[in-house]
Amino acid sequence: MDEFMSDEECAEPPPKLAREKKEPSPHSSKDRKVICESIEEKIKNGELLERRKDENFAEILDKKTVLKVRCLKCSKLLSSAPGRHQTVHRNGSCLATSNTPKRRLSSDQKKSLNDSIVSYLLESGSSFNHLQSKSFRKLIRKTVISVSPGLDMSSIQLPSAEWIKSQAELKYEELIKNITNDIQTPVRQGEACLVLDFGRKWHDFLSVFLVYIDKRLPSPQLKVTPFAFAPIFESKKTENIVRNLVDAGIKFQLTEEEILALRIVGDGARNIQKLAQYFKSSAVCACHTVQKAAERVLNPLKESQKSMTTPELDHLQSLSDAVDICGSIASRLRRLKDKGTLSRLPTNFCPTRWLTFLYCTRDVLQLYSEIEAVTDDTIQSLLLDLEPERPKIITLIGLVDKFEHPLKRFEETKVKVHEVAPVMFSLLDYFREEQKKGANGKDYTRETVSKSAVLSLEHYIQETVGDVHLISTFLCVGLKSLSTIPAARRDSTIKLVMDELEKIDSSLPPQNTSTASSSSYMDKFYDAPAPMSSAKNELEDYQRMTMSLEERDLCPLQFWDRHSSRFPRLSKLANSVFCVLSSESICERAFSHLNKVFRPDRFNTEPELVEKLMISYIYLNNFM
């Protein structure tokens, strides 16, 4: 057969040309899959941005260019161009045919989500039941889907209450370690105090804070941290309180001796005052004192009533009745639908908060002309009863509002203990002068109210102003002359300070006067440092010290930090008294905030867990 083949047929076939490599075609199903996988990888690496467009789609962006859109129902990537393919996904028909698996949370994402839920529990005070509720879980899932479209919602498994509880307890243990590191050194150096109170709503719980001086900062600062929230179901005897405080110190690795060496601040209750028998000292809350002294102006103590005449007591009762009328007017106005042309509503009167009495009465007097225009029979009847007493009430408010500023000032969680004695004695002097003015000017209301205030202040000063207040006043460089203290108490205050310095003197280590062997050649040409002066000389040196304006305005902690080398004993004594708060109002504020943590639906929570939640909540919210 070969002999019949032509030359063309015998020629070798031409070589096949190599097929050119084509770019992936957006129209090929295979190429579309490659493109989508590449886009998914870039989204995961953060090279592309996925942003929610509407309730149906999310956009895949490369800077400002929209590359694709993702169906939020089936998680499929689609062309960004509008068309029927988007309509199918918009109306949900894709769910019937789509086999594309939805993305799931990674293990790291699940851990981060669960940790955030535990942190939310501790910081917000929410209950375990709330975290297990359908509404909360739905909110979490919707939030996660909104920030990460295309996730399989059923894959978002939220933790159980038991797991959350166990993790909350682990975080609590971490917080206790942090607090322990913060407070151990100040407690052992005597630069801390305990502030405590029983709550009104949770009367079986003892709220305790520890106040300490933090010297790790550039300048020393007063810090407050939660110490205990202990249930006392037996009687609230002083011995039981002491045992609870000692037990609370164990978790901070503090011994009984270290706890009992602290000072205590509390209200004027007898069981709190008796703590001075066990602890270094016990100071009465200055806010409690000022408020009680103000309350007893119109309602004198029995011992004060013995020093007043019957007409004076009757006059105080008539003033008290007029104040009650102001409270009734304020309460009625706040309930009225038609309040007329009132520019504002008067403060509502609360019997347990003295300041509300002051604000309520003051507001009614200031709004008197506007209240007269209110067309309400009850209001008009109350105004008729108040009108004869109005001039007396104006005099009363002008006198007792002198208690307002000290009350607010002592509520602050700052170094104010040195101001307690000067303020209380200045209030006493003020009312004595007003009593004389009333007698000379024949102003019976001024004289009677001032006399009652003097008797009240004398009683509460005797109960409240103690050694720590007098010593701290002397150790405030701007008050060291003690000019604000009665002359009879000045000498005893100096003696108190001297006694404390002698105690410190016996505990100081011996001064090292030896020269180190590695001293330089020139050391022998320099004078040796003078030996430490005696406690008496140190005290006299402080009294003679010239004070600059800058030093007068310094916080006492900063002043003594600056002069600690010149006055080693006095600075040590100063740190032991300026860590004392002027009031225990921080405990009352804590109880108010803890309404978020403890509610009627949580009374079944174990007392130990209650304390853990309270300490975590207060610490994490940096409560002061």
**What domains can be seen in the chain, in order of their start residue?**
29-97 (no CATH), 107-159 (no CATH), 167-285+584-620 (3.30.420), 293-414+421-462 (no CATH), 466-506+534-583 (no CATH)
Specify the long-range contacts of residues 37-40, CB closer than 8 Å, at least 24 apart.
39/67, 39/68, 39/77, 40/77
In angstroms, the Cα distances linking 145 to 67, 74, 98, 159, 231 are: 21, 13, 19, 17, 43
pLDDT score for 302 = 92
Identify the pLDDT of residue 572.
93
Task: Supply the DSSP symbol for 25.
Answer: P
Question: 162: exposed, middle or buried (C-beta count within 10 Å: 0-12, 13-18, 19+)?
Answer: exposed
Helix %, strand %, coil % of the chain (to 5): 60, 10, 30
Distance, in Å, from the CA atom of 70 to the CA atom of 56, rounded to the nearest integer, reads 8
- Rounded mean pLDDT for each run of 10 residues along the chain, 624 residues in total: 48 53 56 82 84 86 85 82 80 62 78 91 84 88 79 79 91 94 93 82 74 90 88 76 91 94 84 84 86 92 93 95 93 83 86 84 93 90 94 94 90 86 95 95 94 95 91 93 91 93 73 54 72 85 89 89 91 93 76 64 69 87 70
Place of tokens 């200031």: 366
User: Helices 390-400 and 354-366 meet at what angle, rounded to 10?
Assistant: 130
Look up residue 81 and give its two tokens.
């161009």
- Written in H, E and C, the secondary structure of 490-515 is HHHHHHHHHHHHHHHHHHCCCCCCCC
Give, as one character, the DSSP assignment of residue 527: P
Question: Buried b / exposed e across 26-45, counting CB within 10 Å, b at 16+?
Answer: eeeeeeeeebbeebbeebee
List the beta strands (DSSP E) in 437-558.
Answer: none
Cβ atoms of residues 149 and 70 within 8 Å: yes
Q: What letter does residue 151 receive in the DSSP assignment?
A: B
Question: Nearest Cα to 420, choosing from 580, 595, 202, 592?
Answer: 580
DSSP single-letter state for residue 253: T
C-alpha span between 575 and 557 (Å, rounded): 7
In which element (H, E) is residue 208 found?
strand 205-214
What contacts 24, CB < 8 A, 6 or more positions away? 31, 32, 34, 35
Residue located via tokens 């405030």: 476
- Given a contact cutoff of 8 angstroms between Cβ atoms, the answer to whether 368 and 330 are in contact is no
Q: Which residues of 557-586 are buried (b: 16+ CB within 10 A; e: fewer)?
A: bebbbebeeebbbbbbbbbbbbbbbbbbbb
